Structure 1
Amino acid sequence: MSELVLVRHAQASFGEADYDRLSPLGHEQAARLGAALALQGFAPDRVFLGGQRRHRETLEGMAPALGLDPERAVVHEGLNEFDAQALLEARFPGGLSEEQRRDRRTYFRILRETVIAWQKDEIDNPPESFSAFTARVLAARDAMVAASDAAGGPVLAVSSGGAISRLLADALSAPAEQMILLQLQMKNCAVSRLVGGSDARYLHAFNETPHLRERADARLLTYA
């Protein structure tokens, strides 16, 4: 039976010109998650990650405690996030206002509505069709399942909320719009797990935070 351990990247740089890098808090989250998983005795047989900087920096933070070499990880572009900024620009050619981009509640409400419109093919000239996004994410899943089956042990994957949520929604046979609803609940460095055989995957865990063990850890609880 294959086991996929899916980790959402640590806190990136929301609101900054370059989102695709971890914040100082994100680096701390990644190191804490690696240590927490090591205490559980977690030892992946294969490691995958997306091709984005925040994925690699998260893995690099986790790696020392887990005894992993990030350079040996398999980079699979199917684990990359959909391009939210380009998708919003396709829906709003004039772009969002500075206030809309800076206010998290407003931004994520607009993002939710935009993703649902994208899934319904209601946005002209998106950077990537929803069907293409789904195909590449599921291709990454199939590659990881094959690696888990071959190795006989769990596969660790570091990815993003949208890609992971698409995998979870597929495992649940949920409507497409469930993807963004799962995504907006997903914490930074949250751990979700899929288990199953060659013909089916099942949700075994969702949005776990083993690195948050005490009340004092509340500062490490972030969503963006």
Structure 2
Amino acid sequence: MNNLHNQHHLAGGNFAHPQFFNQHGNQGKRKMNNDPNRPKRPTSAYFYFVQLEREEAAKRGERINRVADWTKQVSAKWRTLTNEQKEQFQVLAAGDKVRYSQQMAVYTGKDANRPKRPQSAYFLWLADFRVRVKDKFAEHKDILRAAGEEWRKMTMDDKAPYEQLAEEERKKYDIKIKEYNQVMMTMMMMVNVIMMVVMMTE
């Protein structure tokens, strides 16, 4: 079981994934997302068990030639396990679910705790420009066109206050994102420690 945990840690909890069976054409066709940056779906307790069974079969020198038949046997064995026997796999699954939730929050940009990227000098200035001309233009595109023209005509001295403000915002962001990443890393380490404790008690 230690090897199973090590693979989970190194692979981000993505081995023994249902995609393994899709590749062998025996568990239906799932439309997979082709974005390489999208976090891998969390692995269920059952599929952690499947991976362990594959490892044990490999140790015995057994080859899985008929995946469908082998899967039925493993599924039947899973149903005979007690809740206590399933607990170790459920802990791994819970940890991987945390990993997936955190990574998806970052991927979709919906993590309310993640610091927002700072605005550039232009966009800081644009906010002030909108206030000045809000009654002069009816169309949003006209505001942007006028803003672009005025920004290009501005001197370096005119832009300096916004450049300075943007730099200050970047420094604040660097500090906040570093703290955020440390918190995320700590959370993942805690999950891994819990899983290791469970493995050691088996």
Q: Which has the larger radius of gyration?
A: 2
Higher relative contact order (CA 8 A, sep 6+): 1
TM-score by length of 1: 0.29
